[in-house]
Amino acid sequence: MVGTALQRRLIWRTAEVVDLVDETPRVRSLVLAVPGWPGHQAGQHVDVRLTADDGYQTQRSYSIASPPSTDERLTLTIERLDDGEVSPYLAGELHAGDQVELRGPIGGYFVWAPAVGGPLLLVAGGSGLCPLMAMLRLRQAAGSTVPARLLYSSRSLDEVIYRDELNKLVAMENGLEVMLTLTRQQPPGWTGLHRRIDTDMLSAVAWPPAERPWTFICGPTPLVETAANALVNLGHEPARIKTERFGPTGG
């Protein structure tokens, strides 16, 4: 992260797509090479700007899914919203070698590093998993054994982003637990959770408030507010619950 503190004005940089990974039928990761990228913290985001031939510009914020690194690369994981203005292009039409403009890293609030400690409670819905995955990837890369629990709400098993990687991280048995709740469709024989995140679920999954966990919640606004309010009602310190709502971004 050398250089991050010295970077004053955010500048637009040209990033080149070096790899594309289909995570689910509607979600694609873009691996971007960004010359001069100063590095980032887990949980930060970038602004991506698109310019049409007639000069019309539009921009969106996307969380960085890759952990901090020094290789001037970062990964964005983007859900394609069919009526969206930006995501169908980024997650549908971009090819390796194409360029996009971005600036960042942005944000210093919704961030975690091993030195912050834990235990860590991560709650996500849909592509809200992206910034939390950067935290889990950093935890793994840094050899951290901070106890961590991820509660992830997905419509179906097929729509679980990073499914294989999450399974591998859990199999390492270094203090990470992952709980899935599948809200719309469950595979035959599914014995896990299958309803929207609620107080009972958080009461069962969350660390006891006395352990003073750091909590990060990211996803659609109703999910974020339900989870954050439930945790406060369960006795968790509001100042240790950090939220990132998607809102109606228009994709």
Partner 1 sequence: MAITEQELRLDGNAAAGLLRDVFVHEFTSVRGACATCGAEGEMGAQHLYMTPLSPGAVLRCATCGSMLMVVVRAGGRFRVGLQGLIWLEMQDEGAAS
Binding site for partner 1 (CB under 8 A): 5, 8-10, 45, 47, 58-61, 85, 103-104, 106-110, 221-222, 225, 239, 242-250
CA distances from 130 to 59, 64, 195, 212, 235 (A): 18, 7, 21, 24, 27
The dihedrals phi and psi of 210, each to the nearest 5 degrees, come to: -65, -20
Which is closer to partner 1, CB of 132 or CB of 180? 132
Which residue in 196, 187, 192, 140 sits closest to 166, CA to CA? 140
- Output the smallest distance, CB 79 to partner 1, in A: 16
- Output the smallest distance, CB 157 to partner 1, in A: 27
Which is closer to partner 1, CB of 61 or CB of 183? 61
Which is closer to partner 1, CB of 163 or CB of 242? 242
Which is closer to partner 1, CB of 110 or CB of 162? 110
For the record, the structure tokens of 217 come out as 């919640």
- Could you give the residue ranges of the DSSP H alpha helices within the chain? 87-88, 129-141, 163-171, 199-205, 221-233
DSSP structure string for 75-135: EEEEE--TT-SSHHIIIII--TT-EEEEEEEE-SSS-B-GGG---EEEEEEGGGHHHHHHH
Residues forming beta bridges with residue 106, ordered by sequence position: 45
Angle between helices 129-141 and 163-171 (to 10 degrees): 40
- Output the smallest distance, CB 49 to partner 1, in A: 10
Which is closer to partner 1, CB of 52 or CB of 171? 52
- Output the smallest distance, CB 110 to partner 1, in A: 5
- Output the smallest distance, CB 23 to partner 1, in A: 23
- Output the smallest distance, CB 117 to partner 1, in A: 17
Which is closer to partner 1, CB of 24 or CB of 77? 77
